[in-house]
Amino acid sequence: MQEFRLDVADFIYPLFVTNGTGLKKAVPSMPGIYQFSVDNLMKEAEEVDRLGIPAVILFGIPAAKSASGSSAYDPEEAVQRAVKSLKDNYPHMVVVTDVCLCEYTDHGHCGIVRGEEILNDQTLELLCKTALSHAAAGADLVAPSDMMDGRVAAIRDALDDAGYSRVGILSYAVKYSSAFYGPFREAAGSAPQFSDRRSYQMDPANIREALKEVLLDIDEGADIVMVKPALSYLDVIRAVKETTTCPVAAYNVSGEYSMVKAAAANGWLDEKNVVLEELLSMKRAGADIIITYHAKDAARWLREEGGRD
Ligand code: PBG
């Protein structure tokens, strides 16, 4: 009689990759999450693969940051090398890359900046270069998270023109300006150095605007649309699901993860049951795909439960 069921095939596991070798650096605000150098990332990928998680999304921590974030499209940077290595070692693993400049800019914003203004159109060109460098490395899907207007169309055109028509776009279509990204910004070193992201991320008070963004992104060529964060926005996931026939992804973000981890570490919550309930609620709301830092644990728990039947 159960209407919805979680499955390991629903998950995308986020991975942070950095330069150097032999590195596995803990992210203090996200217990269980690390920044990996490419060599160690392959060990992590082996575990992800063994657990049956079909996909990962990569975030990069570059060697150097600059005003224009130009290392975002450097073919020798960590993300590009990681994609290549993952596809060489685990060809069946779906490799998604986050396309954004905030990890690569010295000011921490997702686009080029003049004064305190984010320059939308000038940023598009750099996002296209970044997406192309990921495609060239072998990415299956690129996931623009910058929230500049028109970026899905620009990236789709750039990919098609360069012969990467098989590379899909998982669009962060509905990305709210949220306080739940705090721990991620520690993990990726991407906190904005001035102001905030409210000029390009969405107002948490809006839902019709979310649907507008979704329809625009689909029109521009998005293959999958995402709602982010997930837990405070289950109503938005449901509304998006009812608005489109495109697959819908939910991003169970860093702050949502850290809250559960902190409470569980204090013995205040039953981690397993809380996480499985949360993930199931995202599915019930309409998510076809769940990006979650809990993916490895959830995969283990689902396997244990399956074994008991
Ligand atoms: C980059 C990006 C962010 C997240 C994913 N891509 C941070 C932000 O927009 O500040 C957040 C993910 C998370 O919190 O888990 N723009």
- Calculate how far, in angstroms, residue 89's C-alpha sits from the geometric centre of ligand 1: 27
Mean pLDDT for the stretch of residues 83-100: 98
How confident is the model at residue 309, as a pLDDT?
Answer: 45
- Residue-by-residue DSSP string for 226-245: EEESSGGGHHHHHHHHHH-S
Q: What share of the chain in percent tops pLDDT 90?
A: 85
For residue range 103-116, list pLDDT tens digits in order.
999 998 888 888 88
Element at 55 (helix H, strand E): strand 55-61
pLDDT band at 147 (very low <50, low <70, confident <90, very high): confident
Instruction: Report how far residue 78's alpha carbon sits from residue 59's, in angstroms, rounded to the nearest whole number.
Output: 9
* pLDDT at residue 307, as a whole number: 63
For 84-98, 112-126, 167-181, which range has the lowest pLDDT when averaged over its residues?
Answer: 112-126
CB-CB contact of 190 with 103 (8 Å): yes
pLDDT number for residue 5: 95
Choose the weakest-confidence range: 9-13, 162-166, 193-197: 193-197
All structural domains of the chain with their residue ranges: 8-305
For ligand 1, atom 10, the nearest C-alpha belongs to 181
Query: Mean per-residue pLDDT for 124-137?
Result: 97
Give mean pLDDT, residues 154-179: 97
Q: Which two tokens stand for residue 113?
A: 């900046």
- Report yes or no: 265 and 31 within 8 Å, Cβ to Cβ: yes
Among residues 250, 264, 259, 266, the alpha carbon closest in space to that of 301 is found at: 264
More confident residue, 194 or 272: 272
Whether the pLDDT of residue 308 is over 70: the answer is: no
pLDDT digit string, tens, across residues 244-258: 999 999 999 999 999
Supply the mean pLDDT for the chain: 95
- Hey, is 125 helix, strand or coil? helix
Distance 181 CA to ligand 1 centre (A): 6
Verify whether residue 175 is a known catalytic residue.
yes
CA of 59: how far to CAs of 40, 104, 167, 177, 189, in Å?
15, 11, 18, 19, 11
Burial class (CB in 10 A: 0-12, 13-18, 19+), 104: buried
* Catalytic site includes residue 84: no
Rounded distance from Cα 64 to ligand 1 centre (Å): 19
Pocket probe mutation, ligand 1, options 27, 56, 145, max atoms within 8 Å of Cβ: 145
State which of 97, 146, 151, 184 you would mutate to test the pocket of ligand 1, scoring each by most atoms of that ligand within 8 A of its C-beta: 184
Reported as a single tens digit per residue, the pLDDT across 42-51 is: 999 999 999 9
Q: What would the mean pLDDT of 43-61 be, rounded to a whole number?
A: 98
User: Which of 71, 201, 81, 76 lies closest to 129 in space, CA to CA?
Assistant: 71
Is it the case that residue 33 has pLDDT exceeding 90?
yes
Distance separating alpha carbons of residues 190 and 217, to the nearest angstrom:
25
Q: Considering the entire predicted model, what is its pTM? A: 0.96
Q: Are 32 and 86 in contact (CB under 8 A)?
A: no
Q: What is the pLDDT of residue 6?
A: 97
Domain boundaries 8-305, corresponding CATH code? 3.20.20.70
